[in-house]
Amino acid sequence: MTRSADYRKVRFGIISFAHVHINRYLPEILSNPKAELVAIVGIGSNKELAERKARELGISYYESLSDMIANSQVEAVYIASEPYLHKEIIEILAPEGIAVLCDKPLATTMEDAEKIAEIVDKHNLKFMMPFNPRFQKPVIKLAQMVRSGELGELISLYTVKVGKNPLTIKGMDTSWFADKERAGFGGFGDIGIHAVDGIRYITGSEVRKVRAYIYSKVHSLDVDDFGVAFMEMENGTQVTLVSGWFNPKGYPTWLNIRFEALGTRGVFTVEKPYHDYWIYTDEGAFRKDWLRVDVPIAVDTFIRSVIDDIEPPITIKDALQNFRVMWYAYESARRGKEMIIE
Amino acid sequence: MRVLIVGVGNIVRKAYLLAIKKLTMDLGVPLQLVGGYDINSETLAEFKKQAEELLGYPVKTFQDLDAALEEAELVIISTPTFSHYEIADKALDMGINVYLEKPPTRYSWQLQALLDKARSMGLGLMIGHPRRFDPRFKVLKEIVQKLGAPLFIRISERASLPQNDSWRWHYDLSGGVILDVGIHYVHLINWLLENDLKLEVRARRVSEASRRWGAPDWAELILRSPETLVSVEVSWVGPKGASESAICLETFFKGASMRLSDLESPGWYISQSSGNFHKIRYSALYSSPIEAFVEEVKYTFEGLETGELSKLYVVAEESLRSMRLLEEALKSSIISS
């Protein structure tokens, strides 16, 4: 095992500024002592923003992946593009052996998702998808208590993962979130896929059945913004997930996240994943996080897996399985019946 | 009005006696508790002691149902569910108004028969559904009327039931947690949304008692109106110390959300030098504040006093619709272990 002081710096690239998550990942990549950001590639939405940031930070900016590969000796990248570009990007990076930290969802179609998994496997590519709940301390504690048997048999899990409308984010072009061709899912899948990973992680089991109701009924968008899925896990745990982009403007944080687990020997409620202050002003009440460790740990975990050449904790198998569960949920809503996930 | 209570167990001592005290002594409602009937003499003795302490006058006890009913103008029936029909039917035949603790009957046909009889005889028939008189849900109804139909409602009610050979663990006697607790919420959602509902049930037998005697002890009732999805979790299984999570209610609207958790409700947090930290509740019951029972008994009394029996029949009819919805859903649901 390498001591942290001995860690070398990984040459890191950022592919695209399309996803709003770039605003969280860029500072963490920049501040991580084991990473050196050497390239930004401006593909997809928000190219101007990508170029401006590269200039401000004094980092090489590239118009294409091939330019980046030819000139930057990048070892690892964070992909924040629209999901429909993931396959094309990974197809180019995989033969070069460039490790990939790819934002969710994996793709926009089942066919593309499976193709990406094939490519990753074929090239033995180091791949991680950063599903935040796995790095949130209350969720980790809940998963530990389930695994150790401290909560007894897990009977039910109620999960809330609700965000505000991403199209209202200022300073970025987020219109692609409401374009099924580019985003794949609407609000239910966009946010709910994090919860699906959290559910699989907490229960230690796979989703066997799903019955979902998914609608576009809040913001008059071309994609869905509200949904509920009722799931049954292989171990019998019954799961209810409510998700979408319907967190009201007045909610004190962007996200409303909760897990309520009922076990035969305990009830565990994750009221919120982060530590925060309540702030009251003449304009209203707000919450401000004072400790949020999930994104820094996700970035650091990925970088360590590159340096130590070990498997990241969230693999392409997880990314594909979470995508499949979500895909089946949408199929269930579309067909109006319960789906069995093989 | 002379009131008799038939079946004087837990809910009577924790709720109805306190409600009668408040109604008669604080609000001046002319009710008189004439006595209680129970097959268990110890329970009856405890009831008598508590009732007389609370109300300050003598209260009779009976182990002969006919003799007990002779004394009453209104009977509150709080016996095990399977016995409700027979007792209520007898009371109506004797010309006595009936207030049935929920679930009203084990099967919907029994409630239909009672309702028909009460109507034909011009007698009151009220079903105890305290949630609709519960200040928490009354405020929710006001908000729904103001903001429009919710997108999604989640309710969770959990209690820990002793693993003994009680009638509640026998499916044919109690209907399990699905009927015993679920009926509260099917009725509540009917009342709240005032819309056509579809219901699906997924249920489990989790505990040893449930598996041995057959009554499901966990269920999720999934209700759908054209505009709203509802998930109701009802459970008899869980840790004994889970009282703080007895009722959780969350509602999402277009442009609004609200949440009530017993974790956030008034109470007293106690931190002890032993290292224990716990919350003492302000209400003796986990499920409803006493105010709900006060309102409900008052509503019943007023309906009887003014002769507006239709006010009572409305509740009974809604209860009947809820029973039928549950029975229909159970035909196609799988109860897993």
| Model pLDDT, residue B264 | 52
Of A75-84, A203-212, A261-270, B204-213, which gets the smallest average pLDDT?
Answer: A261-270
Same-domain check for residues A156 and A283: yes
**pLDDT score of B334 more than 90:** no
Average pLDDT over residues A324-341: 98
Residues ≥6 apart with Cβ < 8 Å to A201: A131, A133, A134, A139, A143
**Side chain identity, residue A281:** T
The answer to the question of residue A307 being in a domain is yes
What is the secondary structure of A309-341 as a DSSP string?
T---SS-HHHHHHHHHHHHHHHHHHHHTS-EE-
Question: Cis bond leading into A296, ω under 30°?
Answer: no
The answer to the question of residue A2 being in a domain is no
- Contact (CB<8Å) A228/B229: yes
| Model pLDDT, residue B285 | 61
The answer to the question of residue A1 being in a domain is no
Q: What is the pLDDT of residues A263-294, one digit of tens each?
A: 998 888 898 888 889 999 998 888 888 888 99
Same-domain check for residues A162 and A180: yes
Average pLDDT over residues A230-242: 97
Domain count, chain A: 2
Same-domain check for residues A224 and A118: no
Q: Which positions in chain A have a beta carbon within 8 angstroms of at least one beta carbon in chain B?
A: 152-153, 155-156, 158, 160, 162, 213, 217-218, 226, 228, 230, 232, 236, 238, 240, 242, 246-251, 256, 260, 262-267, 269, 271
> Structurally, what CATH architecture does the domain formed by B132-287+324-336 represent?
2-Layer Sandwich (3.30)
Contacts of residue B204 in chain A, CB cutoff 8 Å? 155, 236, 238
Q: What is the pLDDT of residues A72-96, one digit of tens each?
A: 999 999 999 999 999 999 999 999 9
Could you give the residue ranges of the DSSP H alpha helices within A248-315?
294-307
Q: Using a CB–CB cutoff of 8 Å, tell me whether B157 touches chain A.
A: no
In this prediction, residue A145 has a pLDDT band, given cuts at 50, 70 and 90, of very high
Report how far residue A196's alpha carbon sits from residue A329's, in angstroms, rounded to the nearest whole number. Answer: 11
Looking up residue A17, the CATH number of its domain turns out to be 3.40.50.720
Average pLDDT over residues A98-114: 98
Contacts of residue B224 in chain A, CB cutoff 8 Å? 213
Per the structure, the complete domain to which residue A78 belongs is given by 9-131+296-311
Could you give the residue ranges of the DSSP H alpha helices within B56-107?
65-69, 84-93
Same-domain check for residues A213 and A262: yes
Same-domain check for residues A165 and A214: yes
Same-domain check for residues A31 and A83: yes
Question: Cis bond leading into B103, ω under 30°?
Answer: yes
| Model pLDDT, residue B283 | 62
Of A125-129, A291-295, B225-229, which gets the smallest average pLDDT?
Answer: A291-295
- More confidently predicted of B335 and B179: B179
Tokens of A191: 């946010």
Same-domain check for residues A184 and A40: no
Same-domain check for residues A87 and A102: yes
Residues ≥6 apart with Cβ < 8 Å to B120: none
Tokens of B120: 């034909």
Average pLDDT over residues A26-34: 97
Contacts of residue A248 in chain B, CB cutoff 8 Å? 253, 255-257
**CA nearest A78: which of A9, A7, A127, A149?**
A127
* Sequence spans of domains, chain B: 2-129+290-307, 132-287+324-336
Contacts of residue B217 in chain A, CB cutoff 8 Å? none
In this prediction, residue B296 has a pLDDT band, given cuts at 50, 70 and 90, of very high
Q: What is the pLDDT of residues B40-97, one digit of tens each?
A: 999 999 999 999 999 999 999 999 999 999 999 999 999 999 999 999 999 999 999 9
Instruction: Name which of A158, A256, A267 is nearest B242 (Cβ-Cβ).
Output: A267
Tokens of B246: 């007895």
Q: What is the pLDDT of residues A59-75, one digit of tens each?
A: 999 999 999 999 999 99
| Model pLDDT, residue A243 | 98
Q: What is the pLDDT of residues B150-198, one digit of tens each?
A: 999 999 988 888 888 899 999 999 999 999 999 999 999 999 999 899 9
**CA nearest B167: which of B157, B156, B180?**
B180
Max alpha carbon distance in chain A (Å)? 58
Same-domain check for residues A208 and A159: yes
Report how far residue B106's alpha carbon sits from residue B113's, in angstroms, rounded to the nearest whole number. Answer: 12
Size of interface A-B (CB pairs under 8 A): 91
Q: What is the pLDDT of residues B255-284, one digit of tens each?
A: 999 987 765 555 566 677 777 766 666 565
Same-domain check for residues A85 and A234: no
Q: Using a CB–CB cutoff of 8 Å, tell me whether B211 touches chain A.
A: no
> Structurally, what CATH architecture does the domain formed by B2-129+290-307 represent?
3-Layer(aba) Sandwich (3.40)
The answer to the question of residue A319 being in a domain is no
Same-domain check for residues A118 and A144: no
A17: helix, coil or strand?
A: coil
| Main-chain dihedrals φ then ψ at residue B91, nearest 5 degrees | -60, -45
The answer to the question of residue A4 being in a domain is no
| Model pLDDT, residue A220 | 93
Q: How far is A171 from chain B (nearest CA, A)?
A: 23
User: For chain A, how many residues are written?
Assistant: 342
Looking up residue A266, the CATH number of its domain turns out to be 3.30.360.10
| Model pLDDT, residue A140 | 96
Q: What is the pLDDT of residues B9-25, one digit of tens each?
A: 989 998 999 999 999 99
Q: Indicate the average pLDDT of chain B.
A: 91
The answer to the question of residue A209 being in a domain is yes
Same-domain check for residues A136 and A279: yes
In this prediction, residue B244 has a pLDDT band, given cuts at 50, 70 and 90, of very low
Q: What is the pLDDT of residues B108-152, one digit of tens each?
A: 999 999 999 999 999 999 999 998 999 889 999 999 999 999 999
Contacts of residue B226 in chain A, CB cutoff 8 Å? none
